[in-house]
Amino acid sequence: MHGLLQDGSLHGPFVAHPSESSLPHIISPSDPSWHGAPALPKRKGDKYIQGLRKLYLDEALSHGQVWDAFKGRLQVYQSKNLIFEEPVIVKTTDPSRFPPKPHMPGMFTETEARRAIFHESKIYTDFLGNLQGSVVPGSYGLWGGRLKFDADDDDEEEEEGGGGGDCEVWVMILENCGMPVDVARLSESDKKQILSHYTALHDSGILHGDPDPRHWRYHPDGGIRIIDFDSATVLPTHTGKVRMKGDGRKARMMVEDEMDLVKHVLIGDDEHWYV
């Protein structure tokens, strides 16, 4: 995967139409229904998306259920003749490689993978915009395209029964927020900031879903950020749907449960720390 991005173009950032609930398919130019590259409108007013030039993948970090994560560098135009490189986290996936039906319990299908990618992108764009760069990573958006294989990748694809010389790829580009915190070394101020960050998430309608210290990062410029929203859910009071009886109570219980988990990690043996 490391060499692919120099051999193809990514289009975006992806902005979902209100009627959409999943990702579109990005077909190959060799497909009879091809009518040109996807037209993905830009998001205006987003300080993290200016003129993006090139994206490099430098180091593999993890391989998850939907995404593979890498450390990377993003070239950004500050002006016509001025470019700087920003350290980023790059999450990549090819949803077309997921099976139409699960091979085993817990495995995502292609439909489920597309919905998961769509959902995480929507959380960043529709709910966390005001928290980017202070509570959560800044997002350069979700980009899609078809990228060519080099010789080694093409051989691997043929072995898997694919072929065709290219693949569909979706890429989420996020600010690199630094190293994981050491819970034992957190100051009282750090702990209060983490609690405050979760309150900000909940006020924005998002339940993180996995409040583990591996998702708390020391930002190089100071402060702490919360990362990874692939397990996040929208609270029932913020879905945009007609509110049902009991939604408010259900949301409060979900928030209280998550805050209890966070406090349990932060407090340790000190039961009176947060009082």
| 5-61 pLDDT, tens digit each | 445 677 778 877 777 778 877 776 666 666 555 544 444 444 444 467 788 889 999
Q: What is the pLDDT of residue 48?
A: 45
- Separation of first and last alpha carbons in the chain: 49
List C-alpha distances in Å: 35 to 10, 108, 165: 16, 29, 19
Mapped onto helix, strand or coil, the DSSP state of residue 143 is strand
The tokens for 249 are 């109570």
In 3D space, the residue among 232, 209, 51, 218 whose CA is nearest the CA of residue 126 turns out to be 232
Residue matched to tokens 């180091």: 59
User: What residue has token string 């229904």?
Assistant: 33
- 14 near 124, Cβ under 8 Å? no
Topology at the third CATH level for domain 179-267: Transferase(Phosphotransferase); domain 1 (1.10.510)
CATH 3.30.200.20 fits 4-175, yes or no: yes
What is the rounded distance in angstroms from the CA atom of residue 233 to the CA atom of residue 212?
Answer: 16
pLDDT of the residue at 22:
83
d(CA 194, CA 226): 8
Q: Is the pTM of this model over 0.85?
A: no
Q: Where in the chain is the domain with CATH 1.10.510.10?
A: 179-267
What confidence score (pLDDT) does residue 82 get? Answer: 77
The residue ranges of the chain whose pLDDT is under 70 are 1-8, 28-51, 79-80, 149-164, 241-242, 269-275
Q: Where in the chain is the domain with CATH 3.30.200.20?
A: 4-175
Q: What is the pLDDT of residue 145?
A: 84
